Structure 1
């Protein structure tokens, strides 16, 4: 059975501080079930969450680079006043303005306390029921090719596949969208942000990894050593991990 995205993995030197930032930003809670800080909906730790795509902040020793991440989060708002209030609150929490060549746009580009870019969107009807995270957005050269790979990789539904944009969402019609946007710049360094995918209970992780390789994924060595998950890259080199079934 195809995989499900369960969390966005963010590398950070201070995982606790970055986790607290994202918990406050989203109105969620930060949990520390192990060596990472997991951010998910308030009310107690539920993993995997049946609706939301959580955030897992993982400690790493190296700082980020000046290179823009190829993956980022778009945050939803419900009104112009909400957008302005959210931007102001995020800046009070430690977010900083970010310039990524966006020009004059109706959304606001910020970076979290360790420089990971994200956007606070103007109100859009399409995102009215996503929760605080409107979309997980990936820069790419060929959205149609990304749509072919990720549509087969995931149990999500493909909503759009065009030259400039491809869009997927959970088949239940809940939670954030996964969007691939055509951009002119090429991937040059490993991202500090990537998706973690999870097999369903009873599914075989090794079989799922083999299926992904047949679709065009490649093995990835990021110094992970002997771990129970598998690091891969999609056909354009975007990193992702397949976790052990829960």
Structure 2
């Protein structure tokens, strides 16, 4: 048994406005599965597919401003592309952000609701990821997180050290999932990951398997819903969706 990382879930005050920003930022299309939810995915994309990790923007009342433990890194193909993308994102409403990065070759921005993300300088490793180079998670122990998430998903571990761990879909497509060693508080996250079982697999069995690996149940005010909310061993919330 294994789960697929299918989307990044972003909480927002205005899902439509933030969804439009991210659709323009990524060059993807917009749809909605219902009021308060805006889906962003590539045009012509058949969900789910490891070639892309989609973005779901979900409205919540007055989401807190906290240190974000999960963020997106955007890929570029040249220095000119990086500069053009940063300028375009600022025109769309992004603002420069200082997270203590110092003098680095990438640019740190915040989207219109304050979610921090990075526009990377061109890197060969991200040449075929699509617009999202990586989903990055701050953590205390990258080795432990690699063990948990490697067992939780069908993604392949590419690299692991005391300071970072890197996984990618076993199909060798789409963005990377990266864990960076960072002093982080345990806080409620505005950005989390959504996982989906394969068709025919059992959601409850997958949840039990994850709990055996160290996940715990999480109450984020979800109420009676079709998905299960859990937290990984470092307290990062994520959701196990219904199979499909």
The two structures have a TM-score, normalised by structure 1, of 0.97
User: Shift of residue 189 of structure 1?
Assistant: 1.7
Structure 2 counterpart of 1:204: 202
Deviations 1:135-165 (CA, angstroms, capped at 9, x unpaired): 0000000000001101100000011111000
**Contact 1:68–1:117 under 8 Å retained in 2:** no
User: Shift of residue 63 of structure 1?
Assistant: 3.1
Q: Residue 33 of structure 2 aligns to a residue in which SS?
A: coil
**Contact 2:50–2:171 under 8 Å retained in 1:** no
User: Shift of residue 32 of structure 1?
Assistant: 1.2
Gaps of at least 5 residues in structure 1 are: none
Structure 2 counterpart of 1:39: 40
- CA RMSD in angstroms comes to 0.9
Partners of 2:108 and 2:161 in 1: CA distance = 24
Partners of 2:216 and 2:154 in 1: CA distance = 20
Question: Given the alignment of the two structures, is residue 49 of structure 1 paired with residue 57 of structure 2, yes or no?
Answer: no
Q: 1:189 aligns with which of 173, 176, 187?
A: 187
User: Shift of residue 33 of structure 1?
Assistant: 2.3
Structure 2 counterpart of 1:173: 172
Structure 1 counterpart of 2:103: 104
User: Shift of residue 50 of structure 1?
Assistant: 4.3
**Contact 2:192–2:237 under 8 Å retained in 1:** yes
Structure 2 counterpart of 1:213: 211
User: Shift of residue 64 of structure 1?
Assistant: 3.1
**Contact 1:64–1:115 under 8 Å retained in 2:** no
The two structures have a TM-score, normalised by structure 2, of 0.98
Spell out the pairing of 1:102-181 with structure 2 (5 A cutoff): 102-181=101-180
Deviations 1:75-107 (CA, angstroms, capped at 9, x unpaired): 000000000000000000000111111011000
Aligned length: 243
Q: Residue 32 of structure 1 aligns to a residue in which SS?
A: strand
Spell out the pairing of 1:226-245 with structure 2 (5 A cutoff): 226-245=224-243
Deviations 1:172-207 (CA, angstroms, capped at 9, x unpaired): 1000000000012x2232110000000000000000
Moved more, 198-207 or 49-58: 49-58
Q: Residue 109 of structure 2 aligns to a residue in which SS?
A: strand
**Contact 2:19–2:30 under 8 Å retained in 1:** yes
Deviations 1:47-81 (CA, angstroms, capped at 9, x unpaired): 2234100000001011331x220000000000000
Q: Residue 21 of structure 1 aligns to a residue in which SS?
A: helix
